[in-house]
Amino acid sequence: MAQNEQVLRNMAQNEQEMLIRQVEGALEGVKPDASVPDHDTELLRQYVKKLLRHPRH
């Protein structure tokens, strides 16, 4: 994951925003298997969005 975060940080701002919007849009369309608890699904979505907006340094 660290390498992906480095790539995101090194992208131009407009490219970052476009990629972030695409990933967030894709997350909205994901329908996990019924065996996955809703709470777990929401935690994962929040974590991914946090990493996209605030990559670790």
53 within 8 A of 8, measured Cβ to Cβ: no
pLDDT, position 56: 64
Of the pLDDT bands very low, low, confident and very high (cuts 50, 70, 90), residue 52 is confident
pLDDT, position 43: 93
Residues 6+ apart with CB under 8 A from 41: 32
**CA pair distance 7, 36, nearest whole angstrom:** 30
Torsion of the alpha carbons at 18, 24, 30 and 35, rounded to the nearest 10: 150
Q: Dihedral of CA 6/11/14/19: which sign?
A: negative
Task: Tell me which of 6 and 57 has the higher pLDDT.
Answer: 6
Tens digits of per-residue pLDDT, 2-49?
A: 666 667 777 888 888 898 899 889 988 888 889 999 999 899 989 988
pLDDT, position 37: 93
Tokens 């660290």 correspond to what residue?
2
